Amino acid sequence: MPPTIGVLALQGDFHEHAVSLRALGAVAREIRKPEQLHGLDGLIIPGGESTTIARLLLAYDLHAPVRERGAAGLPIWGTCAGAILLADDVPGLDRPPLALLPMTVERNAYGRQVDSFETDLEAPALPPTPAGTRPPYHAIFIRAPRIRALRGGVDVLMAHEAEPVAVRYRSLLATTFHPELTPDHRWHRYFLETIVAASPAGAAAEAAGGGAA
Protein backbone atom coordinates (compact mmCIF):
# COMPACT_ATOMS: atom_id res chain seq x y z
CA MET A 1 0.00 0.00 0.00
CA PRO A 2 1.40 3.42 -0.90
CA PRO A 3 1.55 5.92 1.96
CA THR A 4 -1.22 8.48 2.30
CA ILE A 5 0.21 11.94 2.88
CA GLY A 6 -1.97 14.88 3.79
CA VAL A 7 -1.13 18.31 2.40
CA LEU A 8 -2.61 21.18 4.39
CA ALA A 9 -4.64 23.00 1.73
CA LEU A 10 -5.71 26.21 3.44
CA GLN A 11 -3.29 28.52 1.60
CA GLY A 12 0.03 28.31 -0.19
CA ASP A 13 1.78 25.77 -2.43
CA PHE A 14 -0.28 22.71 -1.52
CA HIS A 15 -1.00 21.70 -5.14
CA GLU A 16 2.71 21.57 -6.02
CA HIS A 17 3.43 19.32 -3.05
CA ALA A 18 0.61 16.98 -4.09
CA VAL A 19 2.05 16.74 -7.60
CA SER A 20 5.50 15.84 -6.22
CA LEU A 21 4.06 13.19 -3.90
CA ARG A 22 2.02 11.57 -6.67
CA ALA A 23 5.08 11.51 -8.93
CA LEU A 24 6.70 9.28 -6.29
CA GLY A 25 3.71 6.95 -6.03
CA ALA A 26 2.25 8.29 -2.78
CA VAL A 27 -1.40 9.12 -2.24
CA ALA A 28 -1.80 12.88 -1.67
CA ARG A 29 -4.86 14.11 0.24
CA GLU A 30 -5.70 17.80 0.53
CA ILE A 31 -6.57 18.66 4.14
CA ARG A 32 -9.12 21.35 4.96
CA LYS A 33 -11.17 19.72 7.74
CA PRO A 34 -10.19 17.91 10.96
CA GLU A 35 -11.88 14.68 9.88
CA GLN A 36 -9.61 14.50 6.81
CA LEU A 37 -6.64 13.88 9.12
CA HIS A 38 -7.91 10.36 9.79
CA GLY A 39 -5.74 7.60 8.34
CA LEU A 40 -2.75 9.70 7.33
CA ASP A 41 0.80 8.35 7.27
CA GLY A 42 2.25 11.86 7.20
CA LEU A 43 1.37 15.53 6.73
CA ILE A 44 2.97 18.42 4.83
CA ILE A 45 2.41 22.05 5.82
CA PRO A 46 3.30 24.02 2.69
CA GLY A 47 4.88 27.37 2.03
CA GLY A 48 2.64 30.40 1.88
CA GLU A 49 1.97 33.19 4.37
CA SER A 50 2.64 32.02 7.90
CA THR A 51 0.28 34.46 9.63
CA THR A 52 -2.57 33.53 7.28
CA ILE A 53 -2.02 29.79 7.69
CA ALA A 54 -1.76 30.17 11.49
CA ARG A 55 -5.09 32.00 11.57
CA LEU A 56 -6.76 29.47 9.27
CA LEU A 57 -5.54 26.54 11.37
CA LEU A 58 -7.50 28.03 14.25
CA ALA A 59 -10.50 29.06 12.15
CA TYR A 60 -10.88 25.56 10.67
CA ASP A 61 -10.35 23.81 14.03
CA LEU A 62 -7.17 22.16 12.75
CA HIS A 63 -4.58 23.60 15.12
CA ALA A 64 -5.24 21.29 18.07
CA PRO A 65 -5.67 18.01 16.14
CA VAL A 66 -2.58 18.64 14.00
CA ARG A 67 -0.54 19.48 17.08
CA GLU A 68 -1.81 16.41 18.95
CA ARG A 69 -0.97 14.08 16.08
CA GLY A 70 2.46 15.62 15.62
CA ALA A 71 3.22 15.26 19.32
CA ALA A 72 2.15 11.62 19.10
CA GLY A 73 4.61 10.89 16.30
CA LEU A 74 2.81 11.58 13.02
CA PRO A 75 5.51 12.60 10.51
CA ILE A 76 5.04 16.26 9.64
CA TRP A 77 7.09 18.27 7.16
CA GLY A 78 6.89 22.06 7.11
CA THR A 79 8.29 24.02 4.16
CA CYS A 80 9.00 27.75 4.51
CA ALA A 81 5.81 29.00 6.24
CA GLY A 82 5.23 25.42 7.38
CA ALA A 83 8.67 25.39 9.02
CA ILE A 84 7.73 28.59 10.86
CA LEU A 85 4.55 26.99 12.17
CA LEU A 86 6.38 23.88 13.42
CA ALA A 87 8.72 25.99 15.57
CA ASP A 88 8.15 26.59 19.26
CA ASP A 89 9.53 30.15 19.18
CA VAL A 90 8.49 32.60 16.43
CA PRO A 91 8.93 36.26 17.41
CA GLY A 92 6.25 38.47 15.87
CA LEU A 93 3.78 35.74 14.89
CA ASP A 94 0.34 36.94 16.02
CA ARG A 95 -1.16 33.48 16.42
CA PRO A 96 0.32 30.49 18.27
CA PRO A 97 2.55 28.18 16.22
CA LEU A 98 2.19 24.41 16.51
CA ALA A 99 5.25 24.46 18.79
CA LEU A 100 6.38 20.93 17.94
CA LEU A 101 9.99 21.56 16.95
CA PRO A 102 12.42 23.15 19.45
CA MET A 103 13.84 26.01 17.41
CA THR A 104 13.65 29.78 17.07
CA VAL A 105 12.67 31.04 13.62
CA GLU A 106 12.80 34.59 12.25
CA ARG A 107 10.14 35.29 9.62
CA ASN A 108 10.95 36.91 6.24
CA ALA A 109 14.56 37.11 7.36
CA TYR A 110 16.09 37.57 3.90
CA GLY A 111 13.88 40.54 3.04
CA ARG A 112 11.10 41.17 0.56
CA GLN A 113 10.05 38.82 -2.22
CA VAL A 114 12.26 40.66 -4.72
CA ASP A 115 15.21 39.67 -2.53
CA SER A 116 14.44 35.96 -2.84
CA PHE A 117 17.15 33.77 -4.33
CA GLU A 118 18.15 30.34 -5.62
CA THR A 119 21.36 28.46 -4.88
CA ASP A 120 22.95 25.01 -5.11
CA LEU A 121 23.67 23.34 -1.77
CA GLU A 122 25.36 20.11 -0.74
CA ALA A 123 22.80 17.73 0.74
CA PRO A 124 24.46 14.49 1.90
CA ALA A 125 21.33 13.39 3.77
CA LEU A 126 19.33 13.09 0.57
CA PRO A 127 18.91 9.83 -1.34
CA PRO A 128 20.76 9.50 -4.65
CA THR A 129 19.12 10.32 -7.96
CA PRO A 130 17.78 7.48 -10.15
CA ALA A 131 21.19 7.58 -11.88
CA GLY A 132 22.91 6.90 -8.56
CA THR A 133 24.54 10.32 -8.23
CA ARG A 134 24.31 12.88 -5.41
CA PRO A 135 24.41 16.27 -7.11
CA PRO A 136 23.99 19.50 -5.16
CA TYR A 137 20.38 20.42 -4.40
CA HIS A 138 19.00 23.52 -6.14
CA ALA A 139 17.15 25.33 -3.34
CA ILE A 140 14.61 28.09 -3.95
CA PHE A 141 14.19 30.63 -1.14
CA ILE A 142 11.15 32.94 -1.32
CA ARG A 143 10.72 35.41 1.57
CA ALA A 144 12.41 32.67 3.52
CA PRO A 145 12.66 32.43 7.29
CA ARG A 146 15.94 31.93 9.11
CA ILE A 147 16.47 29.33 11.79
CA ARG A 148 18.17 31.34 14.53
CA ALA A 149 18.51 28.71 17.27
CA LEU A 150 18.11 24.95 17.68
CA ARG A 151 17.49 23.09 20.92
CA GLY A 152 16.93 19.58 22.20
CA GLY A 153 18.67 17.31 19.71
CA VAL A 154 17.58 18.80 16.38
CA ASP A 155 19.71 17.50 13.48
CA VAL A 156 20.89 19.81 10.69
CA LEU A 157 20.47 18.13 7.29
CA MET A 158 21.45 21.01 4.99
CA ALA A 159 22.95 24.47 5.50
CA HIS A 160 23.44 27.69 3.57
CA GLU A 161 26.43 29.82 4.58
CA ALA A 162 26.68 27.88 7.87
CA GLU A 163 23.02 28.50 8.73
CA PRO A 164 20.61 25.54 8.90
CA VAL A 165 17.98 25.45 6.16
CA ALA A 166 16.80 21.84 6.60
CA VAL A 167 16.46 20.20 10.02
CA ARG A 168 14.96 17.06 11.49
CA TYR A 169 13.63 16.43 14.98
CA ARG A 170 12.27 12.94 15.60
CA SER A 171 9.49 12.52 13.00
CA LEU A 172 9.44 16.23 12.10
CA LEU A 173 11.16 17.80 9.09
CA ALA A 174 11.50 21.53 8.45
CA THR A 175 12.93 23.21 5.35
CA THR A 176 13.11 26.98 4.91
CA PHE A 177 13.12 26.70 1.10
CA HIS A 178 10.55 25.39 -1.41
CA PRO A 179 11.27 21.82 -2.63
CA GLU A 180 7.83 21.68 -4.25
CA LEU A 181 8.87 24.29 -6.83
CA THR A 182 11.63 22.20 -8.42
CA PRO A 183 11.53 19.00 -10.53
CA ASP A 184 14.01 17.44 -8.08
CA HIS A 185 11.88 15.29 -5.77
CA ARG A 186 14.69 14.16 -3.47
CA TRP A 187 13.35 15.97 -0.38
CA HIS A 188 9.94 14.41 -0.92
CA ARG A 189 11.66 11.04 -1.29
CA TYR A 190 13.59 11.68 1.92
CA PHE A 191 10.37 12.43 3.80
CA LEU A 192 8.62 9.33 2.41
CA GLU A 193 11.49 6.83 2.61
CA THR A 194 13.40 7.99 5.69
CA ILE A 195 10.76 9.47 8.00
CA VAL A 196 7.33 8.16 6.97
CA ALA A 197 8.47 4.61 6.19
CA ALA A 198 10.21 4.32 9.56
CA SER A 199 7.34 5.71 11.62
CA PRO A 200 4.40 3.79 13.15
CA ALA A 201 2.44 6.95 12.42
CA GLY A 202 -1.08 5.66 12.14
CA ALA A 203 -2.15 3.99 15.36
CA ALA A 204 -0.32 6.11 17.92
CA ALA A 205 -1.14 9.42 16.29
CA GLU A 206 -4.77 8.46 15.72
CA ALA A 207 -5.18 7.42 19.34
CA ALA A 208 -3.70 10.67 20.58
CA GLY A 209 -5.82 12.68 18.19
CA GLY A 210 -9.00 10.85 19.03
CA GLY A 211 -9.48 9.34 15.58
CA ALA A 212 -11.64 11.27 13.14
CA ALA A 213 -12.62 14.60 14.63
Which run of H or of E encompasses 44?
strand 42-45
SS3 (DSSP) at 154 = coil
List active site positions. Answer: 80, 178, 180
- Count the domains in the chain: 1
What does the pLDDT look like over 154-173, one tens digit per residue? 999 999 999 999 999 999 99
Q: What angle do CA 50, 101, 191 make, to 5 degrees?
A: 85
Range of the domain at 23: 4-209
What does the pLDDT look like over 33-84, one tens digit per residue? 999 999 999 999 999 899 999 999 999 999 999 999 999 999 999 999 999 9
Separation of alpha carbons 132 and 112, rounded Å: 37
Q: Nearest-CA neighbor of 144 among 66, 26, 48, 32?
A: 48
- Four-point Cα dihedral 61, 66, 67, 72, nearest 10: 140
Q: What is the CATH number of the domain that holds 32?
A: 3.40.50.880
Neighbours of 181 (CB within 10 A): 19
Mean confidence (pLDDT) of the chain: 91
Separation of alpha carbons 202 and 195, rounded Å: 13
Which run of H or of E encompasses 113?
none
Total-model pTM: 0.91
Partners of 30 in beta bridges: 7
Q: Is the pLDDT of residue 109 over 70?
A: no
Separation of alpha carbons 180 and 7, rounded Å: 12
Local confidence band at 102 (pLDDT 50, 70, 90 cut-offs): very high
Separation of alpha carbons 123 and 187, rounded Å: 10
Separation of alpha carbons 95 and 131, rounded Å: 44
CA distances for 139 relative to 51, 104, 159, 160, angstroms: 23, 21, 11, 10
